Amino acid sequence: MLRVEKVSFSYGGARKILESVNLEVGGGRLVGLLGPNGSGKTTLLRIISKVLEPSGGVVFLNGKKVSELSVRELARELAVVPQETAASFEFTALDVVLMGRTPHLRRFELEKEEDLRIAEECMRLTDCWHLADRPITTLSGGERQRVFIARALAQEPKYLLLDEPTANLDLRYQIEIMEIIKRLAVEKKLVVIMASHELNLVASYCDELVLLNNGRIIAAGAVREVLTRENIRRAFGVDVLVETHPLTGAVYLLPVNGQQHTALHS
Amino acid sequence: MVINVSASELKRSDAAEPYLIRLYKTKDFFTYGGKSVQVAETGAHVFEGGVRHTYLLERVRHWRFILLVFSLVLFLSVFLATAVGSTYVGPSAILNAFRLGIYDLLSKLGVELGAHAGETAETQKLIILDIRLPRVILGALVGAALAVSGAALQGLFKNPMADPYVIGISSGALFGVTLAHCLPLLSLLAAACAKQVFAFLGSLLAVFLVYNIARTGSRIPVDMLLLAGIATSFLFHAVSSLILYLTLQGDWHQIISWVLGGLWLASWGQVEAAFLPVVICTISLLFFARDLNAMLLGEESALHVGIEVEKVKKIILVLASVAAASAVAVSGTIGFVGLMVPHAVRLVVGPDHRILLPASALAGASFLIWADALARVSSLEIPVGLITAISGVPFFIYLLLRRKRAIAYA
């Protein structure tokens, strides 16, 4: 279980990036973290993963304070799929996934068969095992994203954080990645938190949503409770219709006259 | 039965999941469905459970093979390069000299093997064992130190242009050595604690400057790194030259040799001074090979797989500086070895630092031995730094052009 307690953050100035954020997520749940640009989504993920230290508040993993875990201990519990997966080196996809085994290996220890087996399993789960011997530089965005998800899984974490995993992907890859993430949460009983701008995508896959605005949580809970016309207007300043998908029953949003509004005002 | 299967056929077949193996030799055999199959192309996907684990095994074998070949080349280089010099000494005389040397060692241990050498043999022994061999070995140490330092820095800065010379570590070390060498007050101190210490302090000063000038937020952009490195390099080179000029009363030959780098001062004492720091730094850097790999994927990303990036970064910087500084303390600033060697080696062995670092050290040693041999064949005694610079600068420009193309197409 992941618990975020009264977490605040600022870069020293008066402006608070996050203000007294509380969050509690249990195993097997896929949680979407929503909010406009600059609302603090990425900052929250970076605090949970100990890249940033909060100026106030505590993050607990399974009752243990994150700040008291070593980086290595944390890496065995929690994995992160970064927003941008830079790749200007010629490692193969398998090499990259094997790097996910780092927190489980001693300094001079070489990867063993067990590590290869885990890497293979993770790459099969994310459907990229067939890319194993391709240099990471030659992969497309969607393929690379899957490799990096596999790397995160190879850490055998109980918590998985993803920062806009579907950004820059076309529709097919977006759905593919979401299917994978959803399956992982259920099958591996992971706590998954993903920051995203794709409201409709998130609405049809996530179990719970958290909506951030100006560093505060303005709504949290079931999809239908969070994605309301009022909440969206408050957070994004956009008027939407909240509809139900005729086939899947999921919530989806339709912007109302968004184009005309901006056209009139500019 | 043997069937030739091309890579595309193997991939197309949906009889089984493709098992990955990177093959390092062509025409490997393996069994598939009871048949013996021959792989016609390297890099093919291979089926069949029996071969699945060979990825890790093959990799280790491949690494071992590389290290063996590189070590062999180095060993041969040490031996052959002792034949190069202004006086001709034939191969049999070289062997004889080594034999006599071993006898000498044994007699020190109390084992007397009679065989008294003639006067010519004694002279040749002197040339080979006391003049050429220490120089060759010193060259190997300097080359190894610069190359391994360059390989680590390139990984650390995620930048193929990094090198102890380019980013100012070498000239910082030169500054330290010059101070210790030329200022009377400091040379008293220097007598107490080796020149290496001054070289090291100088290099750390340079690294500190470059690092802080180049750092933009938490990143170190390529252009900033190069510019800060060049500026620092110029500064320390100029100041060192000035001090040398004033204290050596305009002995241009010596000044230029120092600044350009050369091994003409080689002696067994120098070898002893350089040996430990170079070997210790090289081995310690190997300790961080996996961390360097992970950091190539980005520092935050390395943190996520459990690496204490900030701490590791500092340790690697210090180790790379000590390695380069101990090289500079005995040879002056020899440039571009740390740039070229890791690059060439990476083309052969791939980007994994676990093999890249040791292979670079071995290759750098061999490379500098031959560069120095070239410097010696002419009786002019060219500083070896000139030879590495003449070969290194075109290489540097080539890298810049490639980078330019990459940016243009991006």
Tens-digit pLDDT profile for residues B352-408: 999 999 999 999 999 999 999 988 887 677 888 888 988 888 887 887 787 777 666
Residue of chain B whose alpha carbon sits nearest to that of A111: B56
**Which of B47, B305, B313 is best to mutate for the A interface (most A CBs within 10 A)?**
B305
Show the low-confidence residues of chain A (pLDDT under 50): 264, 266
- Tell me whether A86 touches chain B (CB under 8 Å): yes
Tokens linked to A35: 């909010």
Q: Would you say residue B102 has pLDDT above 90?
A: no
Instruction: Report chain B residues whose CB lies below 8 A from the CB of A105.
Output: 290
Mean pLDDT confidence for B159-170: 85
Give residue B393's pLDDT. Answer: 83
Give residue B49's pLDDT. Answer: 37
Residue of chain B whose alpha carbon sits nearest to that of A74: B306
Residues facing A4 on adjacent strands: A23, A59
Closest CA to B307 of B294, B320, B289: B294
Please tell me whether the interface predicted TM-score (ipTM) of this complex is above 0.90: no
- Residue ranges of domains in chain B: 2-52, 129-409
Q: Would you say residue B252 has pLDDT above 50?
A: yes
Residues in chain B: 410
Q: Would you say residue B116 has pLDDT above 70?
A: no
A120 vs chain B: nearest CA distance in angstroms? 10
Work out the mean pLDDT of chain A and round it to a whole number: 88
Which residue matches tokens 């184009």?
A259
Q: Distance between CA B264 and CA A122 in Å, rounded?
A: 57
Mean pLDDT confidence for B231-252: 84
Give residue B90's pLDDT. Answer: 77
Render pLDDT for B202-213 as a digit per residue (tens, 0 to 9): 999 998 999 888
- A133, B17: Cβ pair inside 8 Å? no
- B294, A102: Cβ pair inside 8 Å? yes
Q: Would you say residue B18 has pLDDT above 60?
A: no
Helix and strand numbers (H, E) in chain B are 17, 3
Q: Distance between CA A260 and CA A17 in Å, rounded?
A: 32
| Confidence grade of residue B278 (pLDDT, cut at 50, 70, 90) | very high
Asked whether the CA dihedral B206, B209, B215, B218 is positive or negative, the reply is: positive
Work out the mean pLDDT of chain B and round it to a whole number: 80
CA angle centred on B235, ends B231 and B236, rounded to 5°: 120
Residue of chain A whose alpha carbon sits nearest to that of B300: A51
B287 vs chain A: nearest CA distance in angstroms? 7
Give residue B185's pLDDT. Answer: 65
Note the CATH number of domain B129-409. Answer: 1.10.3470.10
B276 vs chain A: nearest CA distance in angstroms? 21
Q: Distance between CA B115 and CA A257 in Å, rounded?
A: 103
Mean pLDDT confidence for B147-171: 89
The answer to whether B305 and B294 are in contact (CB under 8 A) is: yes
Instruction: Report chain B residues whose CB lies below 8 A from the CB of A152.
Output: 304
Q: Distance between CA B79 and CA B127 in Å, rounded?
A: 14
Helix (H, G, I), strand (E, B), or coil: what is residue B86?
A: coil
Give residue B330's pLDDT. Answer: 87
Which residue matches tokens 């530089």?
A137
- Residue ranges of domains in chain A: 86-156
B88 CB neighbour count, 10 Å cutoff: 8
DSSP codes joined into one string, A45-60:
HHHHTTSS--SEEEEE
Mean pLDDT confidence for B164-189: 81
- B306, A76: Cβ pair inside 8 Å? yes
